[in-house]
A and B are shown apart, each in its own frame.
Chain A
């Protein structure tokens, strides 16, 4: 298999040599922009060519399958942080490994900023009335007050009154319900890195996660 790569490397070397030869002419190499090179794609092109395949086909950041999170209206700082984590393989939950490591690997800082800004400007998905108000109320109580006796911090402190996110802490309102639950379970199982979330979720039962999910989905 290695041997098969050799011809293309050879072609590459020749092409590089040709490229070097062509730069002898007075074409300022630094200012040349070749649009099809992914490393020079702008945010819109990146979203159109890559992100939209999983995170909403029209580029609105609203994914169809709950396997993938909704990015519409997400905080740009959070998206930027996560994309950089994917790029340096600092986030190793299974889906990050399976999908985002490869995607983020070649992105530049500028592209990451652009994509983060793009998705943050998409209108977020509005909440829906709960079909189980009792469960939602239980979730609301936990969301707003935490559980002091077990040293569980209230979600509202970091994620805002309506789950809209604060600073580097993400928007959780309008997220796919299955995605929300899965991430909580992954924090609890220490599959996804984040010290605060790992500690908080340790103390939560499945029922409490379901209650939080029910409440957040109304936001």
Chain B
């Protein structure tokens, strides 16, 4: 910590987490002197714990349902997240990051990030290559400009995450293909300690669902599934000099996505009408409907890893084109339930820039700015249809020991899903609730107190 990778960390990861000079605990061979077993003498298991305390500028109200939940500010996530991590060598050229996480909000333990690698290199290290198998697109990346470990990386789940802000904020699909949704395999090469190439492809790997079936329950839980395979290509150039390290990179992702939508078949509609009932569409897939996403990203990073002080600037721009299935678009929709999208094609652009500074590797902070804009699609996004959001994260950190990080964070929102009420998912029902007039994006503003420990 700070948890983004340094030039050394990047090489450790690209080398398949195997950097070791220790003798193996067990190293057996067969008659042909081939390795049959190689066990590291260091178990390398770590515990990662995050605890968060949230205070909202404006306490979220009770919802307008007949039996309202009593929402409140000043909530405590204990733990927000608690993980067991094995990160290190599994064999002489194989290593991995295997993480099992208890999620406080879900209240359950599940498979979290996994990255297994095989790697090798030439003696003079001019070529390093490897294979990675992982369950989180962008988790395998060694630069932190975008994806799963982009700063800021301490996010507690806000009260309205199930609603509008937090997890409900619009973002490109490249950040959403995580554990429980996909599994992928990729090959990479790092030339001359500077030029990086990777090609990976991802498949649907839904947690809790039988593979290859994409059943409605797991589809709904994950918001959809990858149809067939999703190719991903990445190129990056890094240059290190003195205490400095700079990177510029680009990536491209193509996904055929089966969305989880409220669907009702013609037969179900007929049967319901005949029985005099209304049939609630189930969250499931719409036969034959897939959306096509193309994500193009540019990312950059500059790090200064000084003797005492550390600072960095990083960021990315992702442009996403989303071609909606004609079966789900209003103009061409022929189904019995409602269409899902207004436009045949939607675009989304997200910019995230972060600057951080640590003094004596002990006191520090960061400022991060996120802005998302896109085409207006009232059916998909509700309200006026804009997927826009804009917010900043201001963070102060105190790192008394390298594995302890105290965090004070302020999240300031200027735009939250076109400034709909932050508290009501179904804004159409509560366009300007008299109980909560003048609702604005800044009502989402949140103070977060956090503790992050690795041991």
List residues of A whose CB falls within 8 A of some B CB: 1, 4-5, 8, 11-12, 15-16, 18-19, 22, 27, 32-34, 36-39, 41, 44-46, 48-50, 52-54, 57-59, 64-67, 103-107, 178, 182
Chain B residues, Cβ within 8 Å of A50: 19-21
**Which of A15, A19, A59, A106 has a CB less than 8 Å from the CB of B125?**
A59
A32 B29 Cβ-Cβ under 8 A: yes
A67 B307 Cβ-Cβ under 8 A: yes
Chain A residues, Cβ within 8 Å of B11: 53, 57
Q: Would you call B305 an interface residue if the criterion is a C-beta within 8 Å of the partner chain's C-beta atoms?
A: yes
Q: CA–CA, A75 to B20, complex, Å?
A: 25
B24 A37 Cβ-Cβ under 8 A: yes
Q: CA–CA, A5 to B47, complex, Å?
A: 14
Complex: chain B residue closest to A103, CB-CB: B21
Of the candidates A4, A16, A67, A105, the one having the most CB atoms from chain B within 10 angstroms of its own CB is A67
Q: Would you call B23 an interface residue if the criterion is a C-beta within 8 Å of the partner chain's C-beta atoms?
A: yes
Given A36-B93, A37-B27, A107-B21: A67 touches B125 (CB 8 Å cut-off): no
Q: Can you sample 18 A-B contacts with CB below 8 Å? A: A11-B26, A12-B25, A15-B37, A27-B31, A34-B27, A36-B27, A36-B35, A37-B92, A38-B23, A45-B123, A48-B125, A49-B15, A49-B19, A53-B8, A53-B19, A59-B124, A65-B242, A66-B243
Q: CA–CA, A213 to B45, complex, Å?
A: 43
**Which of B25, B38, B241 has a CB less than 8 Å from the CB of A36?**
B38
Chain A residues, Cβ within 8 Å of B26: 11-12, 15-16, 19
Within the complex, the shortest CB–CB distance from B1 to chain A, in Å, comes to: 14
CB contact list, B124-172 vs A, under 8 A: 124-126
Q: Would you call B57 an interface residue if the criterion is a C-beta within 8 Å of the partner chain's C-beta atoms?
A: no
Chain A residues, Cβ within 8 Å of B33: 32-34
Given A5-B45, A57-B193: A65 touches B21 (CB 8 Å cut-off): no
B35 A34 Cβ-Cβ under 8 A: yes
Flag B102-123 by CB within 8 Å of A: 1 or 0 each: 0000000000000000000101
Count residues of B near A (Cβ-Cβ below 8 Å).
40
Chain B residues, Cβ within 8 Å of A45: 123
Task: Report, nearest first, the 6 A-B pairs whose CB atoms are least far apart.
Answer: A39-B23, A36-B92, A106-B22, A57-B193, A15-B26, A5-B43
**Which of A19, A49, A65, A106 has a CB less than 8 Å from the CB of B240?**
A65
B125 A18 Cβ-Cβ under 8 A: no
Chain B residues, Cβ within 8 Å of A32: 29, 33
Chain B residues, Cβ within 8 Å of A53: 8, 11-12, 15, 19
Chain B residues, Cβ within 8 Å of A64: 7, 240-242
Within the complex, the shortest CB–CB distance from B107 to chain A, in Å, comes to: 23
Chain A residues, Cβ within 8 Å of B38: 36-37
CB contact list, B343-373 vs A, under 8 A: none
Within the complex, the shortest CB–CB distance from A20 to chain B, in Å, comes to: 10
Q: Would you call B176 an interface residue if the criterion is a C-beta within 8 Å of the partner chain's C-beta atoms?
A: no
B35 A66 Cβ-Cβ under 8 A: no
Complex: chain B residue closest to A48, CB-CB: B123
B21 A38 Cβ-Cβ under 8 A: yes
Complex: chain A residue closest to B123, CB-CB: A48
Complex: chain A residue closest to B23, CB-CB: A39
A8 B123 Cβ-Cβ under 8 A: no
Q: Would you call B28 an interface residue if the criterion is a C-beta within 8 Å of the partner chain's C-beta atoms?
A: yes
Q: Would you call B39 an interface residue if the criterion is a C-beta within 8 Å of the partner chain's C-beta atoms?
A: yes
**Which of A22, A36, A54 has a CB less than 8 Å from the CB of B8?**
A54
Q: CA–CA, A34 to B45, complex, Å?
A: 27
Within the complex, the shortest CB–CB distance from A70 to chain B, in Å, comes to: 12
